[in-house]
Amino acid sequence: METRTSIKKKRWPSWQIAIQEESYQQISSELHDNACQTILLSILNLQRIDKNHPELKISDTIQLLEETLHEIHQLSRSLNGELILSIGLRAALEKQLDRMRNACGMQTSLLIQGKQQYLCDEMELIIYRIIQEALNNVLKHAKASKVEVELTFLEQELYVKVVDNGKGFDHTTDQYASAGLRNMNFRAQSLQGKLKIESAPNQGSCLTLQIPCLKSNL
């Protein structure tokens, strides 16, 4: 017997299903690369406790477990759509940029221009996810010292720009770039928007998103 959830899932557009699968892969990767690694190191530390100086390994293990807890907490917050919607797009972006600044000392800025047009909750969340994905890519791969986010509201459109001064990449051949842009493209298409990225080795990257913002077409 089919449940309401399974019936609802059957009606999802293909872009929603693809984004969900990519999101699951991202969660898996985050847990594997961060939480699982620090937990494993904690176990190894405990296995190697020196009877003569147990406090050394114990203190190291406590530090590793605290880092693991912090990683899981950050991942949970970044995936919490209700939290993002409750504080709004601007505040959510400010929090994301603050995390980047605190994590690696990167210089960040957020500029919002023009008279803000109406964005429904679903649109705000999707726009945030696109920018979040771009910022995560900068944080993990760009080796940048500076990133700027700009939102420009026009009469019937919203322009989003994410610019960094990192190492850049050749997006015609870079396998990471193809995988990293897939989610953002799906989400942009769901808003009937246009996504473009310009980058070259050693020249940083510039991502732009153009969407109609007077009504939701979800």
Mean pLDDT of all residues belonging to the chain = 76
Pair (129, 214) in one structural domain: yes
> Looking at the domain assignment, is residue 150 inside a domain?
yes
Pair (108, 74) in one structural domain: no
Averaged pLDDT, 46-66? 71
What confidence score (pLDDT) does residue 8 get?
40
Pair (74, 132) in one structural domain: no
Length of the chain: 218
Strands 194-199 and 146-153, by their bridges, are unpaired
Pair (20, 118) in one structural domain: no
- β-pair partners for 153: 158
What confidence score (pLDDT) does residue 14 get?
56
**Per-residue pLDDT tens for 72-119?**
766 666 666 776 778 889 998 998 898 788 777 889 999 999 988 878
What confidence score (pLDDT) does residue 5 get?
39
**DSSP secondary structure code for residue 49 in this structure:** -
Domain count, the chain: 2
Where is pLDDT greater, at 39 or 167? 167
Residue 13 has pLDDT above 70, yes or no: no
> Looking at the domain assignment, is residue 5 inside a domain?
no
**DSSP secondary structure code for residue 43 in this structure:** H
Residue pair 89/126 in contact (Cβ under 8 Å)? The answer is: no
What confidence score (pLDDT) does residue 194 get?
93
Pair (66, 159) in one structural domain: no
Which of 79, 104, 133 is the last residue in one of the domains?
Answer: 79
Against a cut of 0.75, is the pTM above it? Answer: no
Cα–Cα distances (Å) from 158 to 105, 120, 155, 170, 209, in that order, read 29, 13, 8, 27, 8
Q: Per DSSP, which regions of 35-145 are E strands?
A: 107-113
What confidence score (pLDDT) does residue 114 get?
93
Confidence of residue 153 (pLDDT cuts 50, 70, 90): very high
Residue 48 has pLDDT above 60, yes or no: yes
- The rounded percent of the chain whose pLDDT value lies above 70 is 65
What confidence score (pLDDT) does residue 195 get?
94
Where is pLDDT greater, at 131 or 101? 131
What confidence score (pLDDT) does residue 112 get?
95
Residue pair 146/105 in contact (Cβ under 8 Å)? The answer is: no
> Looking at the domain assignment, is residue 211 inside a domain?
yes
Averaged pLDDT, 62-69? 76
Residue 10 has pLDDT above 50, yes or no: no
Pair (168, 66) in one structural domain: no
Pair (44, 121) in one structural domain: no
| CATH number of the domain that residue 201 is part of | 3.30.565.10
Range of 28's domain? 13-79
Where is pLDDT greater, at 157 or 216? 157
Pair (62, 97) in one structural domain: no
What confidence score (pLDDT) does residue 218 get?
46
**Per-residue pLDDT tens for 163-197?**
999 998 776 555 545 556 777 888 898 889 999 98
Pair (134, 192) in one structural domain: yes
> Looking at the domain assignment, is residue 121 inside a domain?
yes
Averaged pLDDT, 20-30? 61
Pair (113, 203) in one structural domain: yes
